[in-house]
Structure 1
Amino acid sequence: MDHDWMYKASYTSEIYAAGVQSFLSAAEANRVKKRSRSICCPCSVCQTFQYFEDITEIEAHLFENGFMPRYDCWSRHGESLAAFSTSSTANDTTYNDDASSLNSTYNNDSSNLDENDNHLNGPDDNLNEMLHDMETNMGDAEIENLQHLFEDAEKPLYTGSRLNKLDAVLNLSNLKSKNKWSDKSFTKLLVFLHDRMLLEDNELPISTYRAKKLMCPMGLEVERIHACPNNCILYRKRYENEHKCVVCGASRYKQKKDSDEVDDDEGPKQPGNNIDVYLSPLIDDLKTLWDLGVNLYDAYGKEHFQLHATIFCTINDFPAYDNLSGYTTKGKKACPVCENETSATRDVFSTIIFDIMVHLISHIVQEIKACGPVFLRYMYPFERYMSVLEGYVRNRHRPEGGIIEGYTSEEVIEFWQGYVKGLDSVGIPKTRHSGRLDGHARVGFKTFSPSHEDLHDAHFVVLKHMTCLAPYANEHMQMLRLTHPGKDDM
């Protein structure tokens, strides 16, 4: 349906007035269908975030403020995104709605609504904002899935429930991620809740698969790329249709064995110096971000922009010097700081215990002075995070797939967490120091008043550790040495 009148016609024109009446008719019909008490206002000020039970207030807003930008499809008021996509090129729509028929519709709306219905579409959280952001940043191929997401966000979990279907699945999935439940155990919980605890007409999905499909109908795209078993090439671009490696001749596919013998050599292996083969897709993405950029939607500014990016720096462990840049990390000249003088360190440390990693510790002080704290630059935080990623693994023979599936599922929960009130973050645990620094009483909390001497000593200790006072302290010490030449510094 063509809605050009929304942005091209004057607010005082007959075409705009007739169009507003057609919108109000559609919005009221959708309210009756959804059994909601209120309707979100799509004016340029409210932008579907404010709800009104009296439809005449929305009418006044539309004549005063106009429609919000890019609301050509009335997806929040019953119009199908899929239908709009297929008919958006039609321009033969006329606006001859009879205003009297509209009045007869919404003047009697109180008789069509159940007074005990819960307000499922109220502004209790930011789901409306999230859905609007997704709608604005979506291609035509995904709009039908988004329409289903709209419906689930408005559908009660069961008759009379204060919780909608989408909100219930989000909270349950949040618990699954935080407590590391397996897919099998989560499916059993869903079946138990659906069959034994909730009303018969409940809309709760009964499997982990259905819950994931509900939360992320657009899908989290993961491209599967075959690789040579000897880490020679990736089967992409010019090699996409090859059936064997063009370098070593190894088959692209696994060979089925006739015997039951197990090959101990099978399983994941480190690529070593061939890591650049697996980094090639990342390099292509970085080139795209640098040259062309990616068109994204700014939810805060309500506008699209072209995102460009570049690599500022990389953080790797020490062996990565060898894998990524070809620097020698073994032998007598392995230190990137000392280089030719590395072997001199062996005169200080015993040759039995000497190791390049031991030697690198001697440069930490100079690195801190030049670059700042170690934890901002070294691999330690990332190595600790690897334990988190390893926790996603369910199939030890294919750990990468488990990590990808677990990480992407948790990423969906984190995305929703930014919009849904009361949904805690999965990856950020509550600190054990919570409440100790913001004035809340704790068990065993005690107060005391220090004496004047203790307070003076504490003040003096703080002053001694302030670098800005070092010149004055040195000047004072020099004066003492001149005054008492026979005394030592102690």
Structure 2
Amino acid sequence: MNMDRSWMNHNGVKDRQKKEYIAGVNEFLRFAFRGISGETMLKCPCVNCRLVMSQTRKNMLCHLLVYGIDRSYNPWLSHGESVEQIDKNKDQGYVAEVSDNESEDRPFDDMAPFVFDATSAWNSINSTSINENERTTYIGSSSGTSETPMLLQKLVEDMEADLYPGCKKFKILEFIMSLLHIKVSNKWSDKSFSMLLNALHRAFNYDNNLPSSSYDAKKYTKALGLDYVKIDACVNHCVLFRKEFANEVKCPKCSAPRWKQDISQDDENSDDEDEGVHRKTRVPQLVLRHFPLIPRLQRMFMCSKLAMHMRWHNKGHAGDDDDNIMRHPRDSKSWKSLDELYPEFAADARNVRLALASDGFNPGANMSSRYSIWPVMLVPYNLPPWMCMKSDNMMLSLLISGPKSPGNDIDVFLQPLIDELKELWESGVQTFDAHSKETFNMRAVLMWTISDFPAYANLSGWSTKGAKACPNCHKDTNSEWLKHGHKWCYMCHRVFFRTRS
């Protein structure tokens, strides 16, 4: 496949009539529709559809010739091309519309920022670039060796060690993280992944530096900070046992016990000296799992490829300045109003715009069971439309599980996330940008919530039942009580119908 994408920049009316542009469009269509019929509908990358609408091959050809192709759509991820295919052809001299600062053809362009962030050493380095002398100074210092946990110290060593003597492509840590990336991307089971690692372990002559099971490999992600925090909660959804309630054994509001009654009465009345021993057997009645947001946003900027795409919304895109067509949330009135109200926030394109989505489901698919799980997801809308809604870029922030739905008490469980969002909005956090090789103050704002109507009532606190159920009309909601139906009827277009009261 021809990797010369210079034809994508010819987006003027006259440029789209040139042979180079037409040949490039035909090359794209041959690649996109390889092995499938022309009647199959695929996402169209023209500036009008922006990978939101799907078209047949014939219609897509017309769109690309009439409207032009989105210049920022490179590589062609939605049509089967990967970043690795672009990187492998860089040495041919073709210039694709990607940054020269992008690194090698692996999902992790440098493991050093991840490791230094995990060991709290990243903020102590004044320079934005890490050279070998700085690494040696930190790693070899007596304070770093004594204070760094053993597992983190091993990460630092594996970050510098070759996979095998003479290997120039992989370091040990990068190889393990690449395997984990492949496992997650292809949805491998733990059993199949353990079998692969076991075979590699034997192939490398039982090298102790390489994990032999999926469990051992996942220890690396935990040491890098890609973990969650368990927060005990009141079984009646009153409070979270954190901050001022961290040491409470009963709910300060309803006096419900924090722990399950799995210890004897004698243990409960034991002396304080023995309390630490019995505490190990205590199991909380309800647990909230919190996946910290700030470290995950910081890690998005540690990869130069992803950091470049986080600026996509601020780039000029042909054909969508004043055509009043919304192809991305940046074209909405809410986005533009925020830019006008807070120009200092909009000045830095790296500041993150977020949307929150939440809903509950029954994990066992058994309607007789009341057990429910409520995931709270966050979506970064800085990314281009073909990336922001991908599962890889959606972030699980909270996992609320229990014998009953949180209902209107969901605000209690949202407290850890709200604290992070306040910090990101009011002060921001220092973050390293791998694309520009500099540190900046990253801020974030929550712009939207995405949910169905019942979940909307729980998240907003506005009742979606009764006479004033409409969140837009408020007190002007046009409703009428049906005497014989015993329910409220919202008239809307039925306002002129005759009803019996």
TM-score range, shorter chain: 0.3 to 0.5
- Relative to its length, the structure with more strand (as a share) is 2
TM-score by length of 2: 0.39
TM-score by length of 1: 0.39
- Radius of gyration: which is bigger? 1
